[in-house]
Amino acid sequence: MQIFKFGGASVKDAKGVKNLATVLKTVGFKNTLVVVSAMGKVTNALEVVVSNYFEKKGELQSSIQDVIKFHNDILFDLFENESHPIFKKVKLLFDELNSFLKSSKSPNYSFVYDQVVGYGELVSTTIISDYLNTIGIKNNWLDARDVIKTDDYYRRANVNWEITQNAISKKVDTSVLNITQGFLGSDANNFSTTLGREGSDYTAAIFAYCLNAQSVTIWKDVPGVLNADPRHFENAQLLHNISYREAIELAFYGASVIHPKTLQPLQQKEIPLLVKSFLNPENSGTTVGKGVTLNPKIPCFIVKKEQVLISLSSLDFSYIVEENISEIFSLLHQHKMKVDVIQNSAISFSVCVDNIYNNLEKLLQQLKAKFSVTCHNNVSLYTIRHYNQSSIKELEQDKTVLLKQLTQETVQIVTK
């Protein structure tokens, strides 16, 4: 059994869907399960729908129509016959979405988010499954929510591995090609949940773990795992082989090619992870596996934009000790802040966070009750694995450094 994952960039239009089919024909799809994300930037568009639902009711239907038109344009490019059943299937999915938005009274943003945003994956996989069947690549469409069971931590749900293992073992027919959604699960009440932004890689790893797959391949618009994101850094180099440990480190610090949670289940069963180009499917790409080392250890650059740097100091110049730090982390957890860097001295404590849930103002209000607080918004966090002095100097050029932290293998720098 092999698991393939195609992200939104690979199926952003009809040409991308046709290329997915070409990849399957080129590399083979026997005993394969394919995980697919929402098409293009549809997740972003559905986030606008959620925002309008809560804040701009007058623009809600317009934002939904934008999503419907985007998919209809792809449908018309893929299917010549407008009476093809796919048109009705897609319409029914959007009718479901509209029905939920009309009937829901929930004030819980994260709950509504998960019920709405998942339609991106449901529609994309429905279209792709029907297209593949139409051109002779027979497949089974699988609703990931039927088999990936989670808690109700909406927008970043935790997998119930025992129930999920049993469901996948019973419901996945490994003798046929399966098409399913990334990013999605469901809770004990069968409400939709999501596994965190960019969680489709994680979905592939969940299926791989439960099916004892021989490999997972993530198909990207880059040749493999690079030592830097070419959108932000020049002269990026391909890393042909990486150990699980190194890949986990890179993912933890924010490397966008691999989702942070993806590697843990794969490592447990020593399932190789391949990162390959959907534009050149026969190229070798990058292999992540056991006992593989990054050689030579060239510097690897990672950047996370739009972060928040919060610096705290005691109001009476007393030491910031374990009790204070425990309280700070309790508040960070309470307000769902993702912590990327911490640094402390005798009377100060700094933390760089990702304000995913837009709870920053509430957090600052509580912190200001006990600490002197300085907050820098829209900072950039740079991480260099296997740094050298020239790489640090190059990165810091023409930037204002707000925080810098070095360990033996890694340097992290927060800049404005």
390: region left, alpha or beta (phi > 0 left; psi from -120 to 50 alpha)? alpha
Collapsed DSSP state (helix, strand, coil) of residue 228 = coil
**Distance of alpha carbon 283 from alpha carbon 281, whole angstroms:** 6
Task: Please report, as a single letter, which amino acid is at residue 142.
Answer: L
Backbone angles phi, psi at 3, to 5 degrees: -115, 130
Specify whether the CB–CB gap between 101 and 163 falls below 8 A: no
Q: Are strands 139-142 and 2-6 parallel, antiparallel or unpaired?
A: unpaired
Q: Is 385 annotated as a binding residue?
A: no
Which of these, 245, 303, 218, lies nearest to 7 by C-alpha position? 218
Q: How many CA atoms lie within 13 A of 135 on its CB side?
A: 16
Q: Residue 225's Cα: distance from chain center in Å? A: 16
**Distance of alpha carbon 64 from alpha carbon 45, whole angstroms:** 8
List, as residue ranges, the binding site: 231
List, as residue ranges, the binding site for ATP: 231
